[in-house]
Each structure stands twice: as C-alpha cells, then as structure tokens.
Structure 1
Amino acid sequence: MKLSELVNKIENISIYNDGEFDNLDYSSSKTKSRILTFINDEKYIHTLSESVTCIICDAKIAKILPDKYGICLSDNPRLSFYLIHNCLCRDLNLYNKEEFETIIGDNCIIRDRKGISRKNVIIGNNVTIEENVIIRENVKILDDAVIRSGVILGGEGFQFNKEGRTFFIEHCGGVEIGRNVEVQYNTCIDKAMFPWDNTIIGEETKIDNLVHVGHGAKVGKRCLIAANALIGGSSIIGNDCWIGVSVTISNGLIVGNNASIKIGAVVTTNIADGSAVSGNFAIEHSKFIKFIKSIR
C-alpha cells in the first residue's frame, strides 16, 4: 500500500515523500514485511529497524530523515498512526486479510457451538470445548486442547489512544492455542492488535481459572499458570515457567525459561532464566524471604 492512498481516509495528514508499506508496527520491530511506523521525537530515529520503510512524523523530523523513507506529515504522529491502524482494521481488504468458513477437526467434543464464530476459526482434532465458551474470529486451537466453561478466546485488548483525544485502538490480530493446552474456567485471552500478530499459548501449557492474558502476549511451552494471574500485553513468557496464584506481570516484559514467580508477586522487570522471584515489586525469592524474616 502507498502512503498517498491514506490521505483521503485520515484527517490532518499530508505526504512529504510517498512510499509503500505492508503493515503498521512500532519503530524497533523486525519483520519480513515493510513497516509504517511513527516518531514523535528525533531521539528515536536510531531505533528504526531495517523493516521500516515509511514514517509518520512532523515537518522538523522529516527534514533530517534519509530520503529512502516514505514520510507522512502529521502534527500528532502517534494519533495519526492509530487512526490509520483503526481505518485498516475496519476495512480488512486494505490489510489483505482473507476470510474463510470456520473449520472444526475430527473427534471434537463441543458442548455448545453458539459462541464460536462462523468464520476465521480453526479447531484441530480431539479438542474439547465446554458450555458457554466464546471464540471470536482469528482464533486457532490445535489438537487435543481443552477449553473449559466460560472461557473467552480472541476478545478485544485494552488499549486506548490518549493523545489528542481518547479512543479505542482496534484489534485485528489473533489467538493461537497450542497442542494439548488446557484453559480452565472463566479465563480471558485477548487477541493481538496487529493483523500479522497472535497472542500465543504454547503447547502443553495449563492455565487455571480467572486468568487474563493480554493482547500479543507469548506464553511458552509446558507453563503452569495458577488462578487469578494477569499477564500484561506483549509480554513474553519462556518455557516451563511457574506463575503462581494472583501474580501480576506488567506489559512488555520478558520472563526467561524455567522461571518461578511466587504467589502474589508483582513483576515489573525482566526475569532471567531459572530465576525465582517474590514480592511487590518482585525480587529474587531468597532475598525476599531473608527480608521478611528480618522484619518479623
């Protein structure tokens, strides 16, 4: 798609240098597709990945960018970025998103199909789906998964633009549930924001009741996630992790393989492979226990 195709669709933008892009994403993202992103400050120019071909920015920044970029001018680049995103999400032909009839594999046990979207859902073989489950479009469930009553897969993520004016940022990505995953009662797993992205639950991971997995999060293989845990959007959880009861993991963090996050911990920084953390805010578990003993 060319930047010039957007001028009549989005308010208060103009073309400084036309260019072509495939998807929207943030400046540091590295993908095989061509990215349209935004920059609010020239200090972020160094964050631009090789995938970026087009940029939304103001006139001052446009003058110092290399000629190789397509440039769209805006007094509020962040606002324009999300307006363009919403426009493309509402017209999936612009995003080249194909539709298909929902596919259900062999030997599935589905107690109630009313909550399953009739299009853009793929359900593998030997999948169990209990009553009152809601499965939105763009969800893929692989073989031998179990989805318990009250689960919502592919719900809207929680993200709003607050600069210029407040509005909901559309989500047109998906959810992928791996082989032999179990998702227990009343858990919500939101879909990713961008159409090329999925919220992913890795194979053999087991998720307890009332867990929330935010948009675009990636949960690895064989993880155990206990009740009331919250995994923030775009977080990456490694393989073989334990996430305890009522743990909160902030958005955009990386939790390494074999990490153990103890009951009620509030995680605000990345966690290394094999680490055990506790507390609010979470620190190394042994240090936390030593501190608690010292004040009792």
Structure 2
Amino acid sequence: MKMELGMRKKLLLSEIVRNLNAYLLGSDKLISKFGNLSSATDKPQQQLTYVISAKYLKSFNTSNIGACIIHESLKELCIKEKSYIVTSESPEHMFYTIFMECYQNGNYETLSSTRDSSTIIAPSAVIHDSVVIGKNCKIMDNVVILPNTIIGDRVIIKPNTVIGGDGFQVKNLEGKRKVIPHVGGVKIMDDVEIGSSVCIDKGLFGEFTTIHNETKIDNLVHIAHSTVIGQSCTIAAGSSIAGAVTVGNNVWIGVNCSINQLLNIGDYSLVGTGSVVIKSVLPHKKVFGSPAKTIGLVCKCRADIISSDEQLVCSQCDTRYAFIEDHRLVEVANF
C-alpha cells in the first residue's frame, strides 16, 4: 500500500530554476515531492522544501531532505552536502508557485478505483473516482468520498460525512489569498467507525491522512490534512484535530477538544473534555484545560495510575509503572 502519492514526472532542480529568478547551489537532484520540514515521506532525498529563517535552515541542513528554497541572505549558512534554490524573492511564495504549477499540469498520481461487492453503499452516497473500498463496509446516506481515498474492511461511515476534501492551507499568491489544493489522500484502515457529519481532509503534499485500525470517531469531528490517528483511539463529538498531528495508539480524546497542528499525542494518553492542547502530550498523561495541563497519569486499561508506597500502580489492574530519564512512563516489566 502506498505511503504517499508522488509526481508522475520527476523534475530536476535545474529544470525548476530555469524560468525563475533563482539559481541552483549544490548538486542537481530529481524532485518527486514537495513538503515542509515535518512532512512524512518515504523519499526524503527527492523532496523540495523551503525555509524563511536561519533557525529552520539549520534544521534542514541536519535533516535527510534533499533540497530547499532559501533567501539569498541565508546563503552563508549553506553546506556542500545539500542542494539549494537561492532567490532574492520570498522562498515561501516561490515554493507554492512551483507546487501550484505542478498541480495545474496534472503531474500527480491518482489511485485506481476498486470496490468490493460485499460493501453496502446508500443510494444517496457520492463515491468519486480513484477510491478504493474494501470488504463488508457500510457507507450511509449522503456520505461523500472524494478521490485518492482508501477504505479498509468492515468500515462504517455514518450520514453526511465527507472524506478526502482539501484541507485549509491559505497563502498569498499573485496578490490574492488562495486555498492551496491538496494532492494527497486519506486512508481509513480496518474496523474503523466514523460518525455523522465528520470531515477528514486529505494530505497536503501527497501524504495520506490516516486513521488506523479499530479507531472510533463520534459525530461532528474534524480531522485536518496529513494527520495520523493510531489504533484503537476514541475521539468524542465536536473535537477538532489540526494539521499534521500524530495521535498514538489507544488515545482518548473527549468532547469538544481542540488540538493544535504539528503536535504528538502519546499512546494511552487522555485529553479531557473541552481541552485546548497547544503542546505535545507524552504517553499515559491525562491532560485537561485551556491550555491543557497534565493532571494525572492513565494506565493502558484507562484507569488512573496512583502513587502507592513510592511506586506508580494502576488503581484497577495493578500494573506497575516507572519514569525513565525523558519523563516517559513505562511498565516496570518492560523497564
């Protein structure tokens, strides 16, 4: 199964700069993907990104990403092992201009449609081309499934849900504010249940927004572009998860929670009702409030972890835990 959708035709950096107010610094490379410094990709050496500050250029220099658009004022920080497109213009504007041109030229892969005959699809549901649907799924009234969506086996999608729409990436291009088109997709894995009026946006630069096995999503939830939700998670009604968030396995997200972009929510953690999460959450943490703060610890069985005789013990199943040096909680048996 594809990790991401790439470009139909790879482009050399020397081709990209040919008609731009820019020049190539470093070796020429083939580019098959756009992305930012945090984009998930299985081809980092073929990815083009951009930076707007020395801080982020240093991050690029230590990454495995192949090429970067930079402003000429940062040229002195370049290293010989990397490739750069150097410009006197806005690197961000140039990046999105190149990306939009590739999109408008149809230079992105799409999926081939397949649909198992055992799946039940309501007559009012709209299933676009380039959608893969597995066995024994149930897709209810007025569901819309847009191109480049993969749905596994035994998935339930309730009325009025939209899967695979463009996310909300707004940039100023050519003097106008534009919502950037998305070229990725959505993967819904086996035994997932999705409530009514849920929106799950597709990945921005070719990656898949992914919902892993046995996760259950309540009504009126929004999951933004390029987010990954782990296995066996529970996401209650009205919650909103912003772009490129990684949610671990067995996470509980309560009613009306908001989770900011680019965060990691660790395995077995619990986000309490109405919380606004603006920092990453370590595994087994219970957080609550606006902004969300740690108020306790949670066992893998979902009961509270308490301190007993200077040890951390689950109040229900007696599993014992200990902290390791980076403040992460582990079972004592695995310590």
TM range (shorter): 0.7 to 0.9
Q: Within the alignment, does 1:228 sit opposite 2:242 as a pair?
A: no
SS in 1 for 2:73: helix
What is the CA distance between 1:160 and its match in structure 2? 1.0
In 1: Cα distance, 2:124 partner to 2:105 partner: 27
- Spell out, residue by residue over 1:59-79, the C-alpha distance to the aligned partner (whole angstroms, 9 max, x if none): 232344123433222220011
* 8 Å Cα contact 1:235/1:251 also seen in 2: yes
Q: CA deviation at 1:164?
A: 7.9
Contact 1:13 1:80 in 2 (8 A): no
For 1:294, the equivalent position in structure 2 comes to none
Match of 2:55?
Answer: 43
1:284 aligns with 2:303: no
Residue of structure 2 in register with 1:104 after alignment: 115
Task: Kindly provide the amino acid, as one letter, of the partner of residue 35 in structure 1.
Answer: Q
Structure 1 CA distance for aligned equivalents of residues 212 and 229 of structure 2:
6
| Paired residues of 1:161 and 1:168 also in contact (CA < 8 A) | yes
Deviation string 1:54-103 (CA, Å, 9 cap, x unpaired) is 2211223234412343322222001111112222223333x4x1452x21
Instruction: Specify every segment of 5 or more residues in structure 2 that has no aligned partner in the other structure, as ranges.
Output: 1-10, 298-335
1:274 to 262, 272, 284: 284
Q: Shift in Å at residue 12 of structure 1?
A: 3.9
Inter-CA distance 30–277: structure 2 relative to 1 (3 Å threshold): closer
Q: Distance in 2 between matches of 1:263 and 1:285?
A: 13
Quote the sequence identity (%).
31
- Counterpart Cα distance in 2 of 1:142 and 1:71: 40
Q: Deviations over 1:124-158 (max 9, x none)?
A: 00011011011011100000000111000001101
Corresponding residue of 2:28: 19
Deviates more, 1:140-149 or 1:66-75: 66-75
8 Å CA contact 2:275, 2:291 repeated in 1: yes
CA distance in 2, matches of 1:50, 1:284: 31
CA distance 1:122–1:29, shift in 2 (3 Å)? closer
Aligned partner letter, 1:92: G
Counterpart CA distance in 2 for 1:207 and 1:38 is 35
Q: 61, 83, 108: which one pairs with 2:74?
A: 61
Amino acid at match of 1:77: P
- Select the residue among 263, 266, 270 that pairs with 1:260: 270
* TM-score using structure 2 length: 0.78
Aligned partner of 1:73 in structure 2 is 86
Q: Which has the higher strand share?
A: 2
1:32 positional shift: 3.9
Q: Is the 8 A contact 2:134 2:153 kept in 1?
A: yes
Structure 1 residues 99 and 201: alpha-carbon distance in aligned structure 2, compared to 1, 3 A threshold? closer
CA distance in 2, matches of 1:29, 1:216: 8
Counterpart selection for 1:92 from 92, 96, 106: 106
Describe the shift of the 1:162–1:122 C-alpha distance in structure 2 as closer, same or farther (beyond 3 A): same
Unaligned runs of 5+ in 1: 288-296
- Give the letter aligned to residue 180 of structure 1: D
| Contact 1:85–1:170 (8 Å) recurs in 2 | no
8 Å CA contact 1:225–1:244 kept in 2: the answer is yes
Q: Which moved more, 1:146-155 or 1:59-68?
A: 59-68
Aligned partners of 2:184, 2:40: CA distance in 1, in Å?
A: 17
Rounded to whole Å, the distance in 1 between the matches of 2:104 and 2:86 is 23
Given that 1:260 and 1:275 are in contact with CA atoms closer than 8 Å, whether structure 2 keeps it comes out as: yes
Q: Per the alignment, in what secondary structure is the counterpart of residue 52 of structure 1?
A: coil
Q: Letter of the 1:137 partner, please give it.
A: P
Cα distance per residue 1:186-224 (max 9 Å; x no partner): 0000001011x1111111011011000011111111111
Alpha-carbon distance in 2 for matches of 1:98, 1:145 = 22
Q: Does the aligned pair in 2 maintain the 1:228–1:246 contact within 8 Å? A: yes
The structure 2 residue matched to 1:178, chosen from 161, 173, 189, is 189
CA distance in 2, matches of 1:190, 1:99: 16
The one-letter amino acid of 1:116's match is I
What residue is the counterpart of 2:7 in the other structure?
A: none
Alpha-carbon RMSD: 2.2
2:271 is the alignment partner of 1:250: no
1:146 aligns with 2:156: yes
2:199 counterpart (179, 185, 188): 188
